[in-house]
Amino acid sequence: MSDAARSLPLTDLSQDEAGFRQLVRDFAEEKVRPLVHEMDEEEAIPRELIDLCFQLGLMGVEIPEAHGGAAATFFMSTLAIEELARVDPSVAVLVDVQNTLVNNAILRWGTDAQKARYFPRLAESWVGAYALSEADSGSDAFALTCRAEARGDHYELTGRKMWITNAAEAELFIVMATIDPAKGYKGITSFLVERSFPGLAVGKKEAKLGIRASSTCELILEACRVPKDNVLGEPGKGYKIAIETLNEGRIGIGAQMVGLAQGAYELALRYAQERQQFGRPISDFQAVQFELAELATQIEAARLLTYNASRLRDIRLPFVKESAMAKLFASRVAERVASSAIEIHGGYGFTREYPVEKYFRDQKVGQIYEGTSNMQLLVIAKQILGKM
């Protein structure tokens, strides 16, 4: 890493965004890039690399300094996710879920005792996961069937969660379950569930098209004992936590897609300047020049949409519409850029010998998780029509 990046104290991150970006970029280039192909093939992130993310402070960006975190801003999380995704979107989403969903939810709704118990661990070594989705509960997020029944000083959670990012590595899960199905979404409650709690098991790991190194697993709860002190927020308020946390999580996915697009674009730009046809680089041809110009413009637009939503969130202004716009647009841009990058590479881009094909596989999930593109359109439409 550069000397400037090495010397940057974590407590100064909020005062030096450029320095922090460089710190993460150096880390991504030096520690992540050499492992990208191997991680994709092995479908796992080495624990040693995860530990480095903790040591660098990337897993506890907003966690208060008193609890071992960097005490920085949400925007700094956005920068970290973007820079990691430029090299490997799988590592980016590991950091994304930790910061924008898990840490963020506890920061906003956790009790002082919960923060004191979990933040030091989440800043130092514990990976977190967010368990909302179920087999029949995707876009219809509140059609969940996972039950939580009160038993004296604890709840027993029973059900199955699907598509849980970070599940293979996680030591702490935020689990959504209903305490009263008759109340509909008003019965949904959030629980802080430790991996060691009796009755919790991590199921099979999904074999995926993209972000293969990022774990996506089923979560199985069979009368899982959760102390009542581990209710996050209030009983029956889980729907509010889920909605508001996902609004922020969408900004993280926007940042992931911006970084991914930037990484694919850089490969295409370099290849276009190196590839010779008809006695000169293909970047000399106007058709290629215009395509590169279009891609650069779209990436910058997606970046600014994402940064705007992130800044609005930090200064506590409304950002629901902006976060949906950022995720919607950035995921579309990532698809366009990754596809075009393959075309610029020609036949080589269609092979695994060149890394550009991985960006194309990795980008597709951006239009699915944290709310599909159609759900983002619905959110935007309701916002502009004044129905939310």
Segment holding 148, helix H or strand E? strand 147-151
Q: How far apart are CA 214 and CA 167, in angstroms?
A: 9
Residue type, 83: E
CA atoms within 13 A on the CB side of 153: 1
Q: Which of 83, 194, 335, 370 is catalytic?
A: 370
Q: How far apart are CA 77 and CA 63, in angstroms?
A: 11
Helices (H) and strands (E) in the chain, counts: 13, 10
Q: Has 370 been annotated as catalytic?
A: yes
Q: How far apart are CA 11 and CA 324, in angstroms?
A: 31
DSSP-H helix ranges across the chain: 3-6, 17-27, 36-42, 47-55, 74-87, 89-96, 104-109, 112-124, 238-274, 286-314, 320-345, 356-363, 373-384
Phi, psi of 225, rounded to the nearest 5 degrees: -80, 120
What is the DSSP code (8-state) at residue 134? B
Q: Tell me if 75 sits within 8 A of 64, measured CB to CB.
A: no
Q: How far apart are CA 22 and CA 5, in angstroms?
A: 6
Q: Tell me if 82 sits within 8 A of 100, measured CB to CB.
A: no
Q: Which residues are catalytic?
A: 370
